[in-house]
């Protein structure tokens, strides 16, 4: 188990009609406050704006860590999509379309001061975005689960969250106004990126996010769909003697696969079950289905290899590995 230093200053206000508390909550922040309403992408941009509003130069200096923010506007957010978990973390992903960059940016100043989470606000989310939000949240958990050093407590927490997301997403797709399903899905997503699932775990490198950021930067595809497409291919690509036991635990505890089988058979069934789940919620499972062909594969692989540091991941990936995973996803 690794050492850790953990703190989050964000106040979560969760449940039906909690938005009624908004006027009273906002009074404590005075007249200079950033109110963010929408999905995780909206909140990610709001975080950059909150820091940029207090910086005289180009905000991209902050996002690329050329300059450290000294202050930021306080953020109060109202989340309308269960997916990214940005409402409970200090980071975000910012795109710069002219350079095909999609960059992760994190600063402790950017934790939202207060996040309002009313599951009713997600009733109108489309089936496509509900499914993509599930895939994004599941991948946040997997990026923390597949690592070298973990704990029984964290494994159980993440395995339960994965099962909850799979069960409740299907309920939400069948009945978009199922409050209990929407609420549990939202809470699983909220925990996704602030480290609470994996306190004391070693780092994984977040390889699937590193690769998908190139896909959605170059082609502007839906982030969750891109993750769903490449995750099973990444799993197959890295399956070996070093990684197999982790896949066995994942397969047995998340999908209920018979543990008496050969370990590689269990791992392969777990990967197949992951693919089939995403397919079952109508996510397109090939890059060609979302408009990506062979043309820029090598260019994207090079971009990922140069910018994401995946050679240091739990299962290291070099440029040739990334290109192979992209091609296997076509």
The pLDDT value recorded for residue 64 is 87
Contacts 24+ apart (CB under 8 A), 253-260: 253/155, 253/159, 254/159, 254/162, 254/163
Mean pLDDT of the chain: 94
**pLDDT (mean) for 17-42:** 90
Question: Model pTM?
Answer: 0.93
Report DSSP letters for 194-246, one per residue.
Answer: SSGGGTTPPP---HHHHHHHHHHHHH---HHHHHHHHHHHHHHHH-STTTHHH
Tell me the domains of the chain and their CATH numbers. Answer: 11-122 (3.40.50.1970), 127-328 (1.20.1090.10)
Per residue in 160-189, pLDDT (tens digit) is 999 999 999 999 999 999 999 999 999 999
The pLDDT value recorded for residue 169 is 98
**Residue 228 clears pLDDT 90, i.e. is over it:** yes
Contacts of 56 (CB under 8 A, 6+ apart): none
**pLDDT (mean) for 98-124:** 90
Contacts of 27 (CB under 8 A, 6+ apart): none
- Cα–Cα distance between 262 and 171 in angstroms, integer? 33
The pair of structure tokens assigned to 214 is 């190139």
């Amino acid at each position: 188990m690794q050492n850790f230093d953990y703190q989050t200053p964000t106040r979560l206000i969760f449940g039906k009609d909690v938005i009624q508390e908004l006027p009273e909550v906002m009074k404590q922040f005075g007249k200079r406050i950033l109110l963010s309403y929408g999905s995780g992408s909206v909140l990610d941009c709001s975080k950059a704006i909150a820091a940029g509003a207090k910086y005289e130069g180009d905000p991209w200096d902050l996002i690329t860590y050329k300059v450290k923010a000294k202050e930021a506007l306080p953020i109060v957010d109202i989340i309308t999509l269960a997916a990214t978990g940005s409402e409970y973390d200090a980071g975000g992903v910012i795109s710069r379309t002219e350079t095909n960059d999609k960059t992760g940016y994190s600063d402790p100043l950017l934790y939202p001061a207060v996040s309002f989470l009313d599951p009713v606000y997600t009733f109108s989310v489309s089936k496509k975005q509900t499914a993509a939000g599930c895939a994004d949240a599941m991948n946040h958990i997997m990026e923390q689960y597949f690592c070298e050093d973990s704990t029984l407590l964290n494994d159980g927490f993440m395995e339960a969250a994965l099962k909850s997301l799979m069960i409740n997403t299907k309920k939400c797709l069948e009945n978009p106004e199922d409050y209990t399903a929407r609420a549990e899905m939202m809470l699983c997503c909220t925990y996704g990126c602030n480290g609470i699932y994996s306190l004391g775990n070693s780092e994984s490198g977040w390889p699937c996010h590193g690769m998908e950021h190139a896909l959605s930067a170059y082609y502007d595809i839906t982030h969750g769909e891109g993750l769903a497409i490449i995750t099973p291919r990444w799993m197959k690509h890295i399956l070996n003697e070093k990684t197999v036991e982790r896949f066995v635990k994942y397969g047995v505890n998340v999908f209920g696969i018979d543990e008496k089988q050969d370990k590689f058979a269990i791992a392969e069934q777990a990967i197949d079950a992951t693919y089939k789940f995403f397919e079952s919620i109508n996510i397109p499972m090939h890059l060609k289905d979302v408009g990506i062909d062979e043309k820029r594969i090598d260019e994207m692989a090079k971009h990922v290899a140069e910018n994401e540091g995946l050679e240091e991941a739990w299962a290291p990936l070099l440029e040739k590995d990334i290109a192979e995973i992209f091609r296997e996803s076509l």
